[in-house]
Structure 1
Amino acid sequence: MTVRMASRKTVRSGFLLGLSLATMLSGCDMAPRYKPTPLKLPENWGEQGVLRAAHPSDDAIRSDWWTMLGDPELNQLEDQAMRLNPDLQAQAEAFMQARDVAMEAKSHLYPQLNGMAAGEKYKGSRHRLWRGAGSQGPVYMSSEQYSATATWEPDFWSAIRNKVRMSKQRTQEAAAQYALARLSLQAELASDYVLLRGLDAQDAVYKDSIRYYQTAVQVTKMRLAGAIAPGMDVSRAEAQLYATQAQETDIKAQRDVMEHAIAVLVNEAPASFHIAPTTRLSFTELQPPVALPATLLERRPDIAAAERRMAQANRAIGVSRAAFYPHITFNAMTGFMDNGFDLASLSNSMYQFGVQALLPLFQGGLRRAELQRNWSQYRQEEDLYRSTVLDAFQEVEDNLTRTSRLKTEAQQQSGAVDAALRTQSMTMALYTGGLTNYLDVVVAQVAALQARIALVQVETRAVDARVQLIRALGGGWSRAELPKPDKIMPFHPLQYGNLRHAKPLAGIDTNADPASSDLTGQGVSKTSQPLDRTDTPR
Structure 2
Amino acid sequence: MTAGRILSESRPVKRRRLGCFAAALLMATGLAGCDMAPSYKPVKLVYPANWEGQGVIRYGQPDDGAPRGDWWKAFGDPQLDALEDRALKANPDLQASAESFMQSRDVAAQVAAHLYPQVTGSAGGEKWKGSAHRLWRGAGSTGPTYMSSEQYSGAATWEPDFWNAIRNRTLMAKQSAQQQAADYAVARLSLEAELAWDYMALRGLDAQDAVYRDSIRYYRLAVQITQMRLQGAISAGIDVSRAEAQLYATQAAETDIRARRDVMEHAIAVLVNAAPAAFHIAPLEVDDLNFPDVRPSAGLPSTLLERRPDIAASERAMAQANRAIGVSRAAFYPHVTFNAMTGFMDNGFDLASLSNSMYNFGAQAVLPLFQGGIRRAELQRSWSQYRQSEDEYRSTILSAFQEVEDGLTNVGRLKIETVQQNSAVQAALRTQTMTMELYTGGLTNYLDVVVAQQAALVARVALMQVKTRELQSKVTLIRALGGGWSAKNLPEYKQIRPFKPLQYDGLRTPKGVSGISVSTDPANANLSRQP
TM-score by length of 1: 0.92
State the distance in 1 between where 2:414 and 2:495 align. 46
Q: Secondary structure at the match of 1:118?
A: strand
State the Cα distance separating 1:126 from its structure 2 match: 4.5
State the distance in 2 between where 1:166 and 1:287 align. 40
Cα deviation, 1:4-60, whole Å, max 9, x if unaligned, reads: 999899778756654443222101000000000000011111113123457566454
State the distance in 1 between where 2:528 and 2:84 align. 17
State the Cα distance separating 1:85 from its structure 2 match: 1.3
Q: Which residue of 1 aligns with 2:317?
A: 309
Conserved 8 A contact 1:169-1:309? yes
Conserved 8 A contact 1:80-1:266? yes
Q: Does 1:77 align with 2:73?
A: no
Match of 1:118 among 99, 121, 124: 124
State the distance in 2 between where 1:228 and 1:61 align. 63
- Amino acid in the other structure paired with 1:347: S
Match of 1:340 among 344, 348, 353: 348
Cα deviation, 1:247-268, whole Å, max 9, x if unaligned, reads: 1111111111111111111112
Conserved 8 A contact 1:324-1:367? yes
State the distance in 1 between where 2:133 and 2:26 align. 62
Q: Secondary structure at the match of 2:115?
A: coil
Conserved 8 A contact 1:52-1:288? no
Match of 1:388 among 385, 396, 400: 396
Runs of at least 5 residues in structure 2 that lack an aligned partner in the other structure? 1-8
Moved more, 449-458 or 41-50: 41-50
Conserved 8 A contact 1:61-1:475? yes
Match of 1:360 among 348, 368, 384: 368
Moved more, 511-520 or 29-38: 511-520
Moved more, 171-180 or 285-294: 285-294
Match of 1:419 among 427, 436, 439: 427
State the distance in 1 between where 2:329 and 2:83 align. 51
Conserved 8 A contact 1:309-1:381? yes
Q: Which residue of 2 aligns with 1:456?
A: 464
Q: Which residue of 2 aligns with 1:536?
A: none
Q: Which residue of 2 aligns with 1:376?
A: 384
Q: Which residue of 1 aligns with 2:520?
A: 512
Match of 1:496 among 496, 499, 504: 504
State the distance in 2 between where 1:217 and 1:351 align. 106
Match of 1:43 among 36, 49, 55: 49
- Amino acid in the other structure paired with 1:401: T
Q: Secondary structure at the match of 1:108?
A: helix
State the distance in 2 between where 1:282 and 1:59 align. 21
Q: Which residue of 2 aligns with 1:187?
A: 193
State the distance in 2 between where 1:57 and 1:387 align. 25
Conserved 8 A contact 2:61-2:299? no
State the Cα distance separating 1:116 from its structure 2 match: 1.5
Q: Does 1:204 align with 2:210?
A: yes
Moved more, 102-111 or 510-519: 510-519
State the distance in 1 between where 2:261 and 2:476 align. 21
Conserved 8 A contact 2:64-2:299? no
Conserved 8 A contact 2:431-2:452? yes
- Amino acid in the other structure paired with 1:186: E
State the Cα distance separating 1:302 from its structure 2 match: 0.1
Cα deviation, 1:493-529, whole Å, max 9, x if unaligned, reads: 332222222222111112434432222226xxxxxxx
Cα deviation, 1:432-469, whole Å, max 9, x if unaligned, reads: 12222222211111111111111110110011001100
Q: Does 1:298 align with 2:288?
A: no
State the Cα distance separating 1:132 from its structure 2 match: 4.2
State the distance in 2 between where 1:341 and 1:361 align. 49
- Amino acid in the other structure paired with 2:192: Q
- Amino acid in the other structure paired with 1:215: L
State the Cα distance separating 1:113 from its structure 2 match: 0.6
Q: Which residue of 1 aligns with 2:98?
A: 92
1:121-160 to 2 correspondence within 5 Å?
A: 121-133=127-139, 135-160=141-166
State the distance in 1 between where 2:52 and 2:437 align. 50
Conserved 8 A contact 1:54-1:289? no
Q: Does 1:469 align with 2:482?
A: no
State the Cα distance separating 1:90 from its structure 2 match: 1.1
Match of 1:487 among 495, 498, 517: 495
Moved more, 195-204 or 345-354: 345-354
Q: 1:513 to 1:58 in 2, by over 3 A?
A: farther
Moved more, 490-499 or 119-128: 119-128
Match of 2:448 among 440, 452, 456: 440
State the distance in 1 between where 2:87 and 2:213 align. 32
State the distance in 1 between where 2:132 and 2:150 align. 23
State the distance in 2 between where 1:8 and 1:141 align. 32
Q: Secondary structure at the match of 2:157?
A: strand
State the distance in 2 between where 1:435 and 1:126 align. 131
State the distance in 1 between where 2:60 and 2:211 align. 38
Moved more, 13-22 or 285-294: 13-22
Moved more, 427-436 or 461-470: 427-436
Q: Secondary structure at the match of 2:355?
A: helix
Q: Which residue of 1 aligns with 2:5?
A: none
Runs of at least 5 residues in structure 1 that lack an aligned partner in the other structure? 523-530, 532-538
State the distance in 2 between where 1:46 and 1:227 align. 65
Conserved 8 A contact 1:52-1:287? no
Match of 1:102 among 108, 124, 130: 108
- Amino acid in the other structure paired with 1:400: L
- Amino acid in the other structure paired with 1:275: I
Conserved 8 A contact 1:102-1:168? yes
Q: Secondary structure at the match of 2:46?
A: coil
Match of 2:281 among 275, 283, 286: 275
Conserved 8 A contact 1:89-1:512? no
